[in-house]
Structure 1
Amino acid sequence: MELWILAAFSAALIACLASGKSLILALLAGFLLFFSYGVKTGHPFSEMARLAVSGVKTAKNVIVTLILVGMLTAAWRVSGTIPYIVYHASQWCDGSAVLLASFLLCALVSALTGTSFGTAATIGVICMTIANSMNIPPMYSGGAIMAGAYFGDRCSPMSTSALLVAAITKTDIFTNCRLMVKTAMVPFVLTCAVYAAMGLLFQDGGAHHDAAGIFRQAFTLSWITLIPAALVIILSARHVDVKLIMIASTAAAAAIAVSTQQLTPLEVLTVCLLGFHPADPALARLASGGGAVSMTDVVAIICISSSYAGMFSGTGFLRGIQGHIAALSRRATPFGAVIATSVATSMVSCNQTLATMLTHQLCQSVEPDPQRLAIHLENTVIVISALVPWSIACSAFLAIIDAPLASVPLACYLYFLPLWNFLTSRPKQHRPQSNRL
């Protein structure tokens, strides 16, 4: 019965994707299927409701953080923080280095903002425009942009996926970030080398910096606009609570928007709530977005999908599958089992959040150390979700930057990371157990 229910859920996901309907409809169908399964197997209606609510409660901090992230990214746009970074960073791009520069710039912006889609909508769009003006095929630039954007989406203390992993594994976000940087060093360097080599294939066609000019006309690009970004770096280094960091950075950005960009406090508040939507179409194409309202669908997805975790745990829905995963971990190491599980959950769930929660549920028994499991999740399911063509993490991202599906194989970092950590995990199985990665 469990397999039939999973098949029905998968069919609902595929139907929504094929018809262009909201994924929320498929998730609601899944909720009804899993809730009915619990009732069918002897769990009272009230117990199933309690289990669903308990699952949602595990993600309450992430939901609050998501709303703050929406306000923060809007404030950074309207204050000139993101335009300043994009304007100056785009000045030193040339044809031979544009792929490497796209990867590094997107990695920087995503590390500062913690959002892959926000990175795609800002520096990602500009990098794609510059690459197109140099006649670099979109599949190459799209791959570099995607790889860079998911670098920060994985390891930034501002990232909702990193916060989700910390919440469900009950680990410290800053410790996780430090360990994520450690396990990503070799894949990061390899990715840089690959994009540097690819860049030699293309001649400099003379980039046009129209986007930089648009930002120069629309904003006062003062160094003061870097203060909100600097606050994130400084406060993160001092291990200040993430929500307080975002509140402080948003407040600083709002003050700069009033003092430097000459907006009224009411206009800034409206942007923080509803997003930045300038009247100029050219500017809107580059910088529109953000705001608490922009997180509505994401919050709905997290609430529904997190309820699954509570129901799966209480009904033992995944118990049979866990036995197969345990057997796989003995042959392919616990990390190998997490990779295999991540591929399956990413293909079935079609979104990063649910895939992460399902992988955590299924792999808790094969890796009982919460800290190690947290890093395993960050090195697998968080990036693997972006490699599944029908996943939101892939399809929506490519749509934002107008890149083809052929970009996915060229997003090198996304598969270098799990492959490298799989290769280095094998010798560790012969060493005495320790808490170090």
Structure 2
Amino acid sequence: MEEEKKRPKQQEIEVPFWLALLPLIFMVAAMAVTIIIFEGSPHIPLLLGTTIAVIIAWRLGYRWHMIEEGAYKGIRLALPALVIIIMVGMIIASWIGGGIVATMIYYGLKIITPSLFLVTICLICALVAGAIGSSWSTMGTVGIAGMGIGASMGIPAAMVAGAVISGSYFGDKMSPLSDTTNLAAGVTNTNLFVHIRHMIYTTIPGMIIALGVYFFLGRQFAGNSIDSENINTILASLEENFVISPWLLLVPLAVIVLVMKKVPALPALGIGIVLGWLCHILIQGGSVAEAVNALHDGYVITSGNEVVDSLFNRGGIDSMMFVISLTIFAMTFGGVLEHTGMLKSIVTKILMLAKTAGSLIAATVASAFLTNVTASEQYISILLPGRMYARAYQDQGLHSKNLSRALEDGGTITSPFVPWNTCGVFILATLAVHPFAYAPYAVLNYSVPLIAILMAFLGWKVEFMTDEEMQKLKDREARMEMESQQEPV
């Protein structure tokens, strides 16, 4: 008992601002070297940052069991998101195997017209990214094809790349299959579909602005001819390898209806998995063994068409392990920083300038973009600010969906603008256009953050928690506090 009395409590230890910054500085420096120079993954830099935070906390007087509990608490916060991410891997595999994604892409490619090429390629990329939940896969397949078609029409590569990026990030951002969308919802403890619905208010206006710009820019190319060989090759490959039917579109429609009926994310995704799995067997003619294995290993196809193979060889539980492990590392880092008062010290300084709801949301958007610049990794721009500002949003009574939307508006969507960010590097390697060249034409990606900041200061669609929601949050925190007080075994 005497030993327990000597143990310091978290609130009893004040962490100096400069000392609280050290783990972040070390993590960012290590992240830059690892990603830009070594072309490695961000896991080890996060582990280094966590180690520095642990050493500082220990030197300040925290006992190991308190530091360890902070790490576990951070991981526990991400568990709902991790479960959904696993299910997303399965739904991607089942929808690809069931021919659902192929059907959506097939009919999307059918609508290309020369006079509206920039508008059309943006919409197609949005459709494909929404169907598969990945901007990278969309840009690496449909985007590449679009670049070739645009070049054959004499459209500048930077314009085409901007339209491809805008469409791909719109679909990725609004897709329940997207890892970044699930991360933003999970790290803020926001219902996935509530998060997506709240993003409509900033993302749809951004898309409308982008399409308007592409329509205006595309008028000068209205008389150009189109080389349809690439498109016809892809369409033929899809017809050869999948049963294409508009009836298959009923599967995503069913999930959309469930979402509109406010069915929770797990049951809605589960039904989508079952329907896709049945389509794989009953419509596409796959064996039960192939359909089962695809749910874990991902769908595998060898069509002979490089674009089709790159687009459809994906999905499954195994494909999500990178994101899951990265989330665990990042939440461990954030959990230690939060539980030892370091995040509080940092955020307190920031909140001296962000005292209103509008300025807090604007600060979140800016911080997410700054994390993209400094940490060079899109996922970190969601995970780190998500933990930094969670308490500030709660203290102001703001609903967590404001935070989750701000993370996506400032983090997910701005990553292509940073040449040394993993997204900027990928796009340069894939579309062969430098970020500084396509930046003026990636209209969605810079209009959405500006719209988000403007809406925040105007107080439009800034939503607060109800009394019931406030009580649920307090009850949840009380349960977690009781768990953290239990003596570790």
Pick closer, same or farther for the CA change 1:70–1:129 going to 2, 3 Å: farther
Q: Distance in 1 between matches of 2:84 and 2:359?
A: 34
Any idea what the Cα deviations from partners look like across 1:281-303, whole Å, max 9, x if unmatched?
A: 41313422222111111111111
Write the mapping of 1:197-276 to structure 2, written as runs, cut at 5 A. Answer: 197-202=216-221, 203-208=224-229, 209=231, 210-276=233-299
Partner of 2:41: 22
C-alpha displacement of 1:107? 2.2
- 1:295 aligned onto 2:320: yes
Residues 58 and 168 in structure 1, CA contact (< 8 A), matched pair in contact too: yes
Q: Distance in 1 between matches of 2:137 and 2:255?
A: 16
Any idea what the Cα deviations from partners look like across 1:75-130, whole Å, max 9, x if unmatched?
A: 22222111111112112212332221122222233334443334445544443443
Q: Distance in 2 between matches of 1:291 and 1:205?
A: 37
- 1:151 aligned onto 2:176: no
Residues 73 and 118 in structure 1, CA contact (< 8 A), matched pair in contact too: no
Q: Which amino acid aligns with 1:381?
A: G
Q: Which amino acid aligns with 2:28?
A: S
Residues 101 and 132 in structure 2, CA contact (< 8 A), matched pair in contact too: no
Q: Distance in 2 between matches of 1:232 and 1:118?
A: 22
Q: Distance in 2 between matches of 1:40 and 1:78?
A: 54
C-alpha displacement of 1:366? 5.1
Partner of 1:85: 104
Partner of 1:416: 447
Residues 166 and 172 in structure 1, CA contact (< 8 A), matched pair in contact too: yes
1:33 alignment partner, one of 52, 64, 70: 52
Residues 385 and 394 in structure 1, CA contact (< 8 A), matched pair in contact too: yes
C-alpha displacement of 1:195? 1.3
Q: Distance in 1 between matches of 2:152 and 2:241?
A: 22
Partner of 2:337: 312
Residues 220 and 260 in structure 1, CA contact (< 8 A), matched pair in contact too: yes
- 1:171 aligned onto 2:194: no
C-alpha displacement of 1:401? 5.4
Partner of 1:51: 70
C-alpha displacement of 1:254? 1.7
Residues 126 and 211 in structure 1, CA contact (< 8 A), matched pair in contact too: no
C-alpha displacement of 1:403? 5.1
Pick closer, same or farther for the CA change 1:134–1:70 going to 2, 3 Å: farther
1:343 alignment partner, one of 352, 355, 369: 369
Residues 102 and 145 in structure 1, CA contact (< 8 A), matched pair in contact too: yes
Gapped regions of structure 2 (runs ≥ 5) = 1-18, 466-489
Residues 277 and 291 in structure 2, CA contact (< 8 A), matched pair in contact too: yes
Which has the greater radius of gyration? 2
Q: Which amino acid aligns with 1:104?
A: L
Residues 171 and 374 in structure 1, CA contact (< 8 A), matched pair in contact too: yes
1:381 alignment partner, one of 411, 429, 438: 411
1:285 alignment partner, one of 310, 330, 340: 310
| Most deviating of 63-72 and 110-119 | 110-119
Residues 278 and 284 in structure 1, CA contact (< 8 A), matched pair in contact too: yes
Gapped regions of structure 1 (runs ≥ 5) = none
Q: Distance in 1 between matches of 2:185 and 2:250?
A: 27
Residues 59 and 167 in structure 1, CA contact (< 8 A), matched pair in contact too: yes
Partner of 2:94: 75
Any idea what the Cα deviations from partners look like across 1:297-332, whole Å, max 9, x if unmatched?
A: 111111100112211111122333223321332598
C-alpha displacement of 1:380? 2.2
Write the mapping of 1:137-148 to structure 2, written as runs, cut at 5 A. Answer: 137-148=156-167
Residues 94 and 206 in structure 1, CA contact (< 8 A), matched pair in contact too: no
Q: Which amino acid aligns with 1:14?
A: A
Pick closer, same or farther for the CA change 1:410–1:96 going to 2, 3 Å: same
Residues 114 and 158 in structure 1, CA contact (< 8 A), matched pair in contact too: yes
C-alpha displacement of 1:370? 2.6
TM normalised by structure 2 equals: 0.81
Pick closer, same or farther for the CA change 1:206–1:113 going to 2, 3 Å: closer
